[in-house]
Structure formats: C-alpha cells, structure tokens
Amino acid sequence: MARHFSLPKLVVATHNRGKAGEIRAMLRPFGVEIVSAQDLGLAAPPEIGATFEENATLKALAATRASGLPALADDSGLSVHALGGEPGVRTADWEGPTRDAMVGMRRIQDEFAARRVPDTDTARTATFHCVLALAWPDGHVELVHGTLDGRIIWPPRGLGGHGYDPCFQPIGMNRTTAQMTDEEKNAISHRGRAFRMLVEACFK
C-alpha cells in the first residue's frame, strides 16, 4: 500500500517554471504549500539515471535530503519510436545548452530526414512520458508513470504549454498539446495522468 501524504509543505524538485506551475495548480485542492527547488536555492543533481524512474528518484531524494522536507520530482521526456526511443531521458539535452525547445524539435526533424522517415501518422509516432517520485526524508519513495501517445508534426503549432508541446499531436486529435488550454491539456497529458495516479495513491 502506498504511503499517504498528510504534511503541510512539499518541495517540488524542479528549476523549470512551467513544470512547477503545473504541479502547483494540480496540488492546490489539497491545501499543500508548494515551494520549488529554485525557491530554496537547491542545486539540481546530475541526471545520470538510465530511466525516467531513476532520474525522478535521484532528484526527489536529493531535494528531500537537502531541505528536510518531503519532495516531489518529475522526470519526463519524449520518446520518438522511429528514432529508437530518442530523445527519451535525454529530451532536455536535445534542446542544447540554452534549453531551447525549438532546437530539440528541429533536431527531431533532422533525424527524420537523415533516416528517411516518411511523414505519416504511423511512421512518426511518439510517446510523452512523466514519472513522478514522491520522497520523504526517511528515504521512502513512491513512483507513478503516466504516458500520452501521439505523433510528431511539423511545423510546430500553438503557443501554449512548454517544451515539445508545439510538435506533439495526441492520437485522435487535430490539435497539438500547445494548442490546448491548460485544462484541456491536463485532462489528457502524461503529467496529468501521472498526477491523478499519485493523488489516488497518496493524497486521497
């Protein structure tokens, strides 16, 4: 059985304002005070894990040990099936040193061209992944993994969301996740699904 969360304060182990904002909005109904690793000046640990689960756990444990508070970490990424699952856990690295998502989206297109991947729904499928790790100062960790299947489109469309949202179109939809409202996106997104699993397991 998962451990229930009943404390008043939680560290969100991220320096990404977009992710922190989404997490804050999703946990607002539970009356938990949210502070980010950036707010506390916590250093981000090296993401040396081979999986989303390993990286999320690394970040959550580092934040809870540094702050003495329970910590929630997110590790997410985009796996493009025709590229052997890349960028996967290296999704942020594909954005270059300035962390510009457009750089990453263009690199995907360059890889498609180099591998002669046809521009079809079946050839350019992809999956967004989100693993959430909730860690307590005693070292206990709860993990959940949410996914969203879709395809890569070009050129990018939409101004909402963040990261690779403008080039990702969920299966069965004619809009990218960047063309959706926050409410629409959260209802279907990999992060939204992971949060609903976490809430069911640890907050209810």
Catalytic site positions? 75
Residue entry with tokens 């498609």: 112
Pairing status of strand 141-152 against strand 125-135: antiparallel
**What Rg, from alpha-carbon coordinates, does the chain have?**
17
Q: What size, in residues, is the chain?
A: 204
DSSP for 43-79 reads: PPPP---SSHHHHHHHHHHHHHHHHSS-EEEEEEEEE
